[in-house]
Copies of this chain bind each other. A is one copy, B any other.
Amino acid sequence: MKDDSLDEKLNILAGLGADLRNRDFLLTWEHSLEEIRSVLLAAKCLRELYEAGRSIRVFDTGLAVSIFRDQSTRTRFSFASAAAALGLTPTDLDEAKSQIAHGETVRETAVMISFLAEAVGIRDDIYLGEGNRDMRAMAAALQEGYERGVISRRPAVINLQCDIDHPTQTLADLLHLERHCGGLDGLRGRKFVVSWAYSPSYGKPLSVPQGLIGLLTRFGMDVTLAYPEGYGLLPEVVELAAKQAGASVGAFRVTHDMAEAFDGAEVVYPKSWAPMEVMRRRTELLRKEDRAGLAALEKACLEENFRHEAWHCDEALMKRTAGGSALYMHCLPADITGVSCPQGEVSREVFERYRLETYRQASWKPYVIAALIFLTRLPDPVGSLKRLGEAGRTRIL
């Protein structure tokens, strides 16, 4: 892939004319292609500057607040890395230590944590039907607080994974694909497979496969979604993917045969997720704190999963892909057979061959988050990038 110079990238970015200022980033498909491409370009510029030893600090001070309602390593560190690189102080709202459990409303909390904040990153992927909705409630509270003069700045709400989408992951994935395919145009017609894969765990969110079909169908890819009967995704996202594939002159289809899906694939993304129905019932049981019900649901779900343990990305399956050498992708951590579990999503051999590639895929995430903060919070993002490149400080003083 020929890599445009920083100046060229900035010219393209300026030409796109996208304006994300004072906005949130909650679902990729709420944003125009120009906006998506602007995020990718800004992420690449920030990375190029950082790796060339320039400081990308654009804030002298300010907070970047994170709220994690699920465990996280990668996203947590990506958010902290991005915030710190821009000059913000990453601060976690640890709900166990806060008074939110005391019946405090989301709306109040939103304002209380935001008086001096530039961004609020939220991971809320456990409760189906609630995660994204709650992010919107928080965003609305900030908007009200801003409009009514309670807070002087309006922090951007950034979706760090919800029940519907995982935009910082899928945009990192898209940057990895862009590099792999020699540019976004190189994605056109490429056969991409996102497939369910067996894992001895339950409750994994649907946001990654949904986010992938909701994003990649906009770039003319030939997208196949494969899963065992009963593991379908949110119908509205599947419909959206089909519609977008039509508009982008790409393709989108669903199959229930992993091997067939892999035939001729150029990129494969085998990953486990829970059946939607399980996520729905789990949400209800969690709300009721019904431990016995949760245990029973987990048992039933694991048994059901186990009926599909053949959904395993091994060398035999990889041989069916285009030239036997499709790109393997994963958002990590993967359930690797014989490494992290007795039987998982991917064989040790396949994973090991692509291990460093999955790390490269992940390496984009801090820059995607930095780009989102950059584009939503700065008055003149292109001008700021230009200044960082021209006259900016080095990161090591």
Contacts and interface: CB of A to CB of B under 8 A. Distances in A.
Contact of A116 (B50, B59, B65, B394): B50
Given A98-B71, A397-B60, A103 B333 contact: yes
A395 interface: yes
A116 B81 contact: yes
A100 B71 CA distance: 9
Interface string A140-158: 0000110011111000000
Contacts of A377: 396
A162 to B, nearest CB: 17
Most buried by B among A84, A105, A148: A84
Contacts of A81: 63, 115-117
Interface in A58-86: 58-63, 65, 68, 71-74, 76-78, 80-82, 84-86
A57 B89 CA distance: 13
A149 B201 CA distance: 33
A293 interface: no
Given A63-B84, A90-B89, A150 B117 contact: no
Give the interface size bracket for A toward B.
Answer: 35 or more
A371 to B, nearest CB: 14
B71 A148 contact: no
Given A80-B63, A84-B63, A103 B340 contact: yes
A59 B103 CA distance: 37
Interface string A332-343: 110100011100
A73 B145 contact: no
A77 B103 contact: no
A333 B71 contact: no
A116 B77 CA distance: 9
B150 A360 contact: yes
B87 A61 contact: yes
B102 A71 contact: yes
A225 B111 CA distance: 30
Contacts of A58: 396-397
A97 B115 contact: no
Nearest to A380: B396
B112 A74 contact: yes
Contact of A108 (B78, B80, B201, B332): B332
Contacts of A117: 81
Contacts of A61: 55-57, 84-87, 395
A272 to B, nearest CB: 12
Interface of A: 50-51, 55-63, 65, 68, 71-74, 76-78, 80-82, 84-87, 89-91, 93, 97-105, 108-109, 111-113, 115-117, 144-145, 148-152, 201, 332-333, 335, 339-341, 355-356, 359-360, 362-363, 366, 377-379, 393-397
Would you list the 3 A-B pairs with minimal beta carbon distance, nearest first?
A103-B340, A81-B116, A84-B89
14 contacts: A57-B60, A59-B397, A60-B394, A71-B97, A71-B101, A77-B113, A89-B90, A103-B335, A103-B340, A105-B339, A105-B340, A108-B332, A148-B356, A378-B396
